[in-house]
C-alpha cells in the first residue's frame, strides 16, 4: 500500500491532474506501471459538482488481477486549522486498519497483499472500509485538537502575552501555536479505537 499526496501521484504517473477523472487515470497508471496493489491519495482539494463547499476528499483504489483501478472517494468537511503530524497519523492508522479489515474478511488474510478478487466493488474493498475508519478517527482527533488549540491560544493571549512588547509577543504566540498544533492522540484514545464513521466511501 502506498499513501500519496496529489503531488506524489502526479510525479509517479507523469499525469496532469486537473479534475477527478484525470486523477482516476493517474491512479490507473501507477497500478499498471509499478504494480502497487493499494493506493490512497490524501487531502484531495479538486472541486467537483457533488462535493459540498469547504470539503476535501481522499481517493483510493485496489487494483484488479490485470492491474486496473477500482477507485473510490470519501468526501469530508475541511477543518480550518493547522496541525502537525497528520500524515504520519494517517499512514500508521491505514496500516493497522487495513490489516484489521483484511484479516476479518474470510479468505482475504491469506491472499498476497490482501488483494480482493475482481468481483469486489470499489466501495466494498477492505481499503475503502479501512479508510472510512481512519478518516473518522482523524476527524475526531483533529476537531478535539483544534478546540484545545483555540482555548490554549486564547488563554495565552491573556496570561502570557499581555504586557510583552509587540515582537516578543509575536514570537511567544508563534511558539505556543506550534506546540498547540501537535495532535492530541493520548487524550483521545477512544477516537483511535472506536471512531464513529460518518463519511462513507463512494464509487468514482
How confident is the prediction for the chain on average, in pLDDT? 91
Query: What is residue 161's predicted lDDT score, i.e. its pLDDT?
Result: 65
15-31 confidence digits (pLDDT tens): 999 999 999 999 999 99
Q: Cβ atoms within 10 A of the Cβ of 198, count?
A: 12
- pLDDT of 51 > 80? The answer is yes
* pTM as predicted: 0.88
168-177 confidence digits (pLDDT tens): 877 877 787 7
126-152 confidence digits (pLDDT tens): 999 999 999 999 999 999 999 988 888
67-113 confidence digits (pLDDT tens): 999 999 999 999 988 888 899 999 999 999 999 999 999 889 888 89
Q: Are 86 and 134 in contact (CB under 8 A)?
A: no
Q: Tell me how far CA of residue 166 lies from CA of 143, 153, 172, in angstroms.
A: 30, 16, 10
- pLDDT of 119 > 80? The answer is yes
| Class of residue 56 by CB neighbours under 10 A (exposed 0-12, middle 13-18, buried 19+) | middle
List the domains of the chain with CATH numbers: 2-203 (3.40.1190.20)
CA distance 1 to 37: 6
Confidence label for 49 from pLDDT (cuts 50, 70 and 90): confident
Counting DSSP H helices and E strands in the chain, the numbers are: 6, 5
CA distance 87 to 99: 19
Query: What is residue 84's predicted lDDT score, i.e. its pLDDT?
Result: 83
Phi, psi of 152 (to 5 degrees): -65, -40
Q: Are 27 and 1 in contact (CB under 8 A)?
A: no
CA distance 114 to 111: 5
- pLDDT of 37 > 90? The answer is yes
Amino acid at each position: 500500500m502506498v499513501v500519496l499526496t496529489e503531488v506524489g501521484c502526479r510525479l509517479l504517473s507523469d499525469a496532469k491532474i486537473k479534475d477527478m477523472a484525470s486523477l482516476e487515470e493517474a491512479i490507473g497508471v501507477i497500478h499498471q506501471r509499478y504494480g502497487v496493489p493499494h493506493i490512497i491519495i490524501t487531502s484531495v482539494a479538486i472541486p467537483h459538482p457533488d462535493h459540498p463547499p469547504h470539503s476535501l476528499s481522499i481517493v483510493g483504489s485496489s487494483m484488479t488481477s490485470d492491474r486496473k483501478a477500482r477507485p473510490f472517494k470519501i468526501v469530508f468537511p475541511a477543518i480550518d486549522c493547522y496541525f502537525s503530524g497528520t500524515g504520519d497519523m494517517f499512514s500508521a492508522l491505514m496500516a493497522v486498519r487495513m490489516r484489521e479489515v483484511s484479516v476479518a474478511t474470510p479468505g482475504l488474510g491469506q491472499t498476497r497483499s490482501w488483494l480482493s478478487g475482481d468481483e469486489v466493488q470499489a466501495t466494498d474493498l477492505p481499503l475503502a472500509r479501512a479508510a472510512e475508519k481512519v478518516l473518522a478517527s482523524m476527524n475526531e482527533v483533529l476537531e478535539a485538537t483544534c478546540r484545545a488549540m483555540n482555548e490554549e491560544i486564547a488563554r495565552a493571549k491573556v496570561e502570557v502575552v499581555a504586557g510583552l512588547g509587540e515582537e516578543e509577543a509575536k514570537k511567544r504566540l508563534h511558539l505556543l501555536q506550534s506546540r498547540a498544533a501537535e495532535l492530541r492522540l493520548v487524550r483521545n484514545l477512544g477516537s483511535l479505537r472506536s471512531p464513529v464513521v460518518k463519511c462513507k466511501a463512494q464509487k468514482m
